[in-house]
Amino acid sequence: MIVQSGSNRLGIILFLTPVILLFAVYFVYPLGFVFVTSTLDWNGVSTPEFIGLRNFIDNFQNHTFQKSIRNNFIWLFALGFGQITLAAGVAMILARRPRGWRFLRTAYFLPNVISQVAIAMMWKALYNAEYGALNQFLEIIGLSGWTHNWLGEIGTALPAVLIQQVFYIGYFMIIILASTMSIPESFYEAAQIDGANVFQQERYITLPMLVPILVTSTTLAMAYGLRHFEATFLLTDGGPANSTSVMGIQLYKMLKSIDYGHANATGATLVILGIIVIVVIRSTFGRAVNAGEAEQ
């Protein structure tokens, strides 16, 4: 047991105070503001009127809001499972240091240092129905029947936005790659001596060792999915016919309508859903993490 002297305690308080203050000012206070105003009928200038959960009820009765929640969960699973699976797969391949792996590592990470706006504009041009490269390519290879207004058709808009985001695996790939490369070579050498092939080595050595980082990455990716906004806003603005809308888009539109009560009820819903998702992920994968840590 560590016994802290009075001077130590003062030091701890002094060091922690700035962080706690910043946390309070930039997190606790705005969060309190969001929750308080989510119960008000308030447009920013009118006299606020307390209306309880009315804003939440209105939101959940709205078809577009319901669609937005559904889309948020599609994003959550697409990023949490699709993106992480891809990132882990690429990381495991690159960890075996194939020819040009350093170049590939940089190439995969490059989009993460480019502005999301620039990337979205590029994809918007790529997907354009009239002059987009995707349709032109399909026409060149004789598949003109497959061309679409990718961002303007209900059946293709959401997949089109999802795909352009899911393939940007660089961030998670780097995290998982770092973890993969820290696995001692001797484990693989021993497995090779025992006659394990590459797939067996990945299945029985790499994957179990990666479980904690995979769970953390999945949690982060799902959180990104839940709060997703930028790509959809820039590519479709939630359209067509609200088919790609997410809660972030709804919140933004409510703010533009200076409807702060409903907007902050949406924000509060996002916070609550985020907490629920994180708790569910941690409790679902908790045992796997513990098992993975035990194996290490």
Q: What residues make contact with another protein under the rule CB under 8 A?
A: 24, 28-29, 32-33, 35-37, 40, 42-46, 48, 64, 128-130, 149, 151-154, 157, 236-242, 253-260
Q: How far is the CB of 33 from another protein (least distance, A)?
A: 4
Please, which residue, 225 or 238, has the CB nearer to another protein?
238
Q: How far is the CB of 225 from another protein (least distance, A)?
A: 22
CA proximity to 51, closest of 273, 271, 260, 274: 260
Q: How far is the CB of 235 from another protein (least distance, A)?
A: 9
Report the C-alpha gap between 243 and 257 in whole angstroms.
Answer: 20
Classify residue 228 by burial, with Cβ atoms within 10 Å: 0-12, 13-18, 19+: buried
168, 224 contact by CB (below 8 A): no
Please, which residue, 188 or 252, has the CB nearer to another protein?
252
CA proximity to 115, closest of 230, 213, 232: 230
Longest CA pairwise span in the chain (Å): 79
Please, which residue, 198 or 241, has the CB nearer to another protein?
241
Report the C-alpha gap between 35 and 85 in whole angstroms.
Answer: 36
Q: How far is the CB of 170 from another protein (least distance, A)?
A: 27
How is residue 260 written in tokens? 């702060």
Please, which residue, 15 or 131, has the CB nearer to another protein?
131
Classify residue 152 by burial, with Cβ atoms within 10 Å: 0-12, 13-18, 19+: middle
Q: How far is the CB of 47 from another protein (least distance, A)?
A: 8
164, 231 contact by CB (below 8 A): yes
Q: How far is the CB of 79 from another protein (least distance, A)?
A: 23
Please, which residue, 208 or 240, has the CB nearer to another protein?
240
Please, which residue, 148 or 228, has the CB nearer to another protein?
148
Q: How far is the CB of 126 from another protein (least distance, A)?
A: 12
Please, which residue, 19 or 294, has the CB nearer to another protein?
19
How is residue 34 written in tokens? 């969001």
Report the C-alpha gap between 40 and 57 in whole angstroms.
Answer: 13
What is the H or E stretch that residue 17 is in? helix 6-23
